[in-house]
Structure 1
Amino acid sequence: MTRTAYDAVAHSYVELLRDELSHKPLDRRLLDTFADMVIAGGGTRVLDAGCGPGRVSEYLHGHGLTTVGIDVSPTMIDIARRGYPALQFDVGSILDLNLAGGSLEGVVAWYSIIHTPPKLLTVVFTEFWRVLAPGGLLLLSFQVGDERVRIEQAYGHAVAYDVYRLSPEEISDQLSKNGFQVEVRVVRAPTGSELQPQAYIIARK
């Protein structure tokens, strides 16, 4: 369902959100901080989990990280490969990562856990923990709340998928139960077209 929706909206999504990071200085600073922390720990290998058209992968690559992007949408992956041919992008699911255990120093899930039913998040966090090397870092971003929202119109298209708004406190607790130590937790007010506060968590394996 999510894959079908993002295949349908992929080209419109890219056009509408191409310069999104340029308007969000705090988001950029948090990505910068994550990159600096990974590099300070002696690492460079990072997964962009749910990479969409690849803009976060490219941003982190520009800050010295070796990024690999995965997404469930083949159309998004095709766009990412064309847009950033020097980077690696593959079709894949955050529920079952096709990566060796301990093979990464960082994982970014930039608004990609928002489509996962909360009862399955422990599966996602277990996979993130598995692929990270000891001391590796995880960066999550998501919309704050405690509800499921059915989306039927997005980026100018009729679609059908769910978005889950999440509690920063509950996500922090789940991460702790899955072997992570939360080091940074930030919540900011909505900006632009956003309707909800936005949360960002950096946690370490």
Structure 2
Amino acid sequence: MTDHHLANVRALYDTVAESYHDLVPPRFAADAVGRGMLAAFADLVRADGGRPVADLGCGPGHVAAHLAALGLSVTGIDLSPAMVAIARRSHPALPFEVGSMTDLPLPDARLGGIVAWWSIVHTPPQVLPMIVAEFHRTLVPGGHLLLGFHAGDEVVRRDQAYGHPVTVESYRHPPERVAGLLERAGFTVTARLVTQEPDSPQGACLLARRPAAD
């Protein structure tokens, strides 16, 4: 992902941050299936010792707060400083940092778990291997990954988002292709879920694990 592309995505979410905060957390609160996947992830991390986890592309911090309520030690990381400011304001007890999934501000084998919840929506397919490599690098052996994303195989171009005029490209990724990418990077995919809500794009969740000895 080029610096220019990252700058565009950062500017987009700095622009829409307050509107996003008003709209998206209530949708998350109504997403029983998604919260079920997060609960399974939390159970797995706790069973393996409860090491720290990261919510990557954390936005205004609602998923990080949910994970903390499930008993996890969580840090949120987002590309947008405006989103991080809202997350800190909304959830002052939790740590949030500005950072990119392509170059995480974390040491090797730091995390017991990673959640990237609809965070690869602006990631071109050719950049996904770089992000998956960062997932693998920062997870401990035996660590868990939960990846949620829009399913499909197309680029969606929009001129409005969250009530703001913008220029944005969103990517829908085939679940089989993403699962294969994870496996080639050294992960074991342990669960797959595809969802279809009325009038919404198809969604996919992949639960994966970095093997304990790899």
| Counterpart residue number, 1:31 | 38
In structure 2, do the counterparts of structure 1 residues 44 and 64 end up closer, same or farther at CA, with 3 Å as the change threshold? farther
Q: 1:125 aligns with which of 124, 132, 152?
A: 132
Shift of 1:158: 0.6
Q: 1:198 aligns with which of 181, 189, 203?
A: 203
Q: Does residue 1:13 correspond to 2:20, yes or no? A: yes
Question: What is the CA deviation profile of residues 162-200 of structure 1, one whole-angstrom value per residue up to 9, with x for unaligned ones?
Answer: 110010000000000001000010001124x52x11100
**Take 2:76 and 2:159, find their aligned partners in 1: how far apart are those partners?**
27
Regions of 4+ moved over 3 Å: none
Shift of 1:201: 0.3
| Counterpart residue number, 2:182 | 175
Q: Does residue 1:115 correspond to 2:122, yes or no? A: yes
Aligned-residue CA RMSD (Å): 0.9
Shift of 1:112: 0.5
Matches within 5 A, 1:57-76: 57-76=64-83
User: Is residue 126–residue 178 contact of structure 1 (8 Å, CA) maintained in 2?
Assistant: yes
Question: If the length of structure 1 is used for normalisation, what is the TM-score?
Answer: 0.97
User: Is residue 9–residue 157 contact of structure 1 (8 Å, CA) maintained in 2?
Assistant: yes
Question: What is the CA deviation profile of residues 127-169 of structure 1, one whole-angstrom value per residue up to 9, with x for unaligned ones?
Answer: 0000000000010001110011112101110111211001000
- Percent identical among aligned pairs is 47
| Counterpart residue number, 1:3 | 10
Q: Does residue 1:78 correspond to 2:85, yes or no? A: yes
Shift of 1:114: 1.5
Give the residue type in structure 1 aligned to 2:26.
D
Give the residue type in structure 2 aligned to 1:174.
L
Question: If the length of structure 2 is used for normalisation, what is the TM-score?
Answer: 0.93
Shift of 1:24: 1.2
Q: Does residue 1:139 correspond to 2:146, yes or no? A: yes
User: Is residue 44–residue 64 contact of structure 1 (8 Å, CA) maintained in 2?
Assistant: no
Q: How many residues align?
A: 203
Structure 2 residue runs without a partner (length 5+): 1-7
Structure 1 residue runs without a partner (length 5+): none
| Counterpart residue number, 2:159 | 152
User: Is residue 50–residue 73 contact of structure 2 (8 Å, CA) maintained in 1?
Assistant: no
